[in-house]
Amino acid sequence: MDYNSQKDLLIIPEYGRNIQALIEFNKTIEDDKERQEFAEQVVNLMQQMNPQSKNLAEYRNKLWNHFFRIAQYDINVVPPTGEKPSGEDAKAKPATVEYPVKEKEYRHYGHHVRTLITKAITMEDGPIKEGFVENIASFMKLAYKNWNPEHYVSDEIILADLKVLSDGKLNVSESSSLDLLTSAVRKKRRPSNTHKRNNNRKRRRY
């Protein structure tokens, strides 16, 4: 198992290793449209982690600046302003977000999950809340896999943890898939593995 000290340094620790991993994967997407759409999904997730009600447009620009900083400005996507920030912008105005409080229980999910769950509990019942809760559960599954990649985690485990963390107030439909954030990564990696296996088979025949 990899220890945090052995992994890449977190560029903005407040967003956690999962966001940084998603952005690193985002760089590998070759299709321009898919890469842009994936980047927008990551920024939406960053916003859910640190919800702000005032001056949303300015806050979204701040999140995009954080996104590019985590990507080390080495990614071909376009923010809503149409202008990609540079490293010089970061030097002029350091990126800061509220530092999370340490959690003793379920700390592998991160404090942000607790914040999202608290927000979801207060939301009005309906499709918007259902989609929001599904995103939380999907992120929990991704966080669990990154925390312990060698251990299989089922949807049932994640849903049970969600129930505990929400004091039984949040549920996800049994027909929902919690691989919303991980399916893209799995699809991206699958062709290269298949190609590698085929090459190995060809070599064995000679």
> CA-to-CA distance for 54 and 68, rounded, in angstroms?
23
Chain segment 133-161, per-residue pLDDT in tens: 988 888 888 888 888 888 888 899 999 99
Mean of all residue pLDDT scores within the chain: 78
Categorize the per-residue pLDDT at 4 as very low, low, confident or very high, splitting at 50, 70 and 90.
Answer: very low
Query: Same structural domain for residues 123 and 170?
Result: yes
Contact 68, 15 (CB under 8 A): no
Q: Indicate the number of domains in the chain.
A: 2
For residue 129, being part of any structural domain is answered with yes
Asked if pLDDT for residue 66 goes beyond 90, the answer is: yes
Query: Same structural domain for residues 29 and 80?
Result: yes
Query: Same structural domain for residues 146 and 178?
Result: yes
What DSSP state is assigned to residue 4? G
Q: What is the pTM of this model?
A: 0.49
Among the three residues 98, 121, 144, which one is the final residue of a domain in this structure?
Answer: 98
Q: Out of 97-101, 125-129, 177-181, pick the least confident.
A: 97-101
For residue 7, being part of any structural domain is answered with no
Categorize the per-residue pLDDT at 32 as very low, low, confident or very high, splitting at 50, 70 and 90.
Answer: very high
Per-residue pLDDT at 190: 54
Between the CA of residue 2 and those of 71, 87, 149, what are the distances in Å?
Answer: 22, 30, 9
Query: Same structural domain for residues 104 and 185?
Result: yes
Per-residue pLDDT at 38: 93
Among the three residues 79, 98, 117, which one is the final residue of a domain in this structure?
Answer: 98
For residue 22, being part of any structural domain is answered with yes
For residue 196, being part of any structural domain is answered with no
Chain segment 98-120, per-residue pLDDT in tens: 544 445 567 788 777 888 888 88
Query: Same structural domain for residues 34 and 110?
Result: no
Query: Same structural domain for residues 63 and 89?
Result: yes
Q: Which residue has the tokens 């027909």?
A: 175
Angle, CA 159 vertex, CA 154 and CA 161 arms, to 5°: 100
For residue 52, being part of any structural domain is answered with yes
The residue that leads in pLDDT, 136 or 91, is: 136
Query: Same structural domain for residues 83 and 136?
Result: no
For residue 206, being part of any structural domain is answered with no
Query: Same structural domain for residues 118 and 181?
Result: yes
Q: Is the dihedral of CA 78, 79, 80, 84 positive or negative?
A: negative
For residue 5, being part of any structural domain is answered with no
Per-residue pLDDT at 3: 43
Per-residue pLDDT at 110: 77
The residue that leads in pLDDT, 63 or 188, is: 63
Other CB atoms within 10 A of residue 181 CB: 20
Among the three residues 98, 123, 145, which one is the final residue of a domain in this structure?
Answer: 98
> CA-to-CA distance for 87 and 72, rounded, in angstroms?
8
**What residue numbers bound the domain in which 127 lies?**
100-189
Per-residue pLDDT at 144: 86
Query: Same structural domain for residues 120 and 83?
Result: no
Length of the chain in terms of residues written:
206
For residue 194, being part of any structural domain is answered with no
Categorize the per-residue pLDDT at 199 as very low, low, confident or very high, splitting at 50, 70 and 90.
Answer: low
Per-residue pLDDT at 116: 84
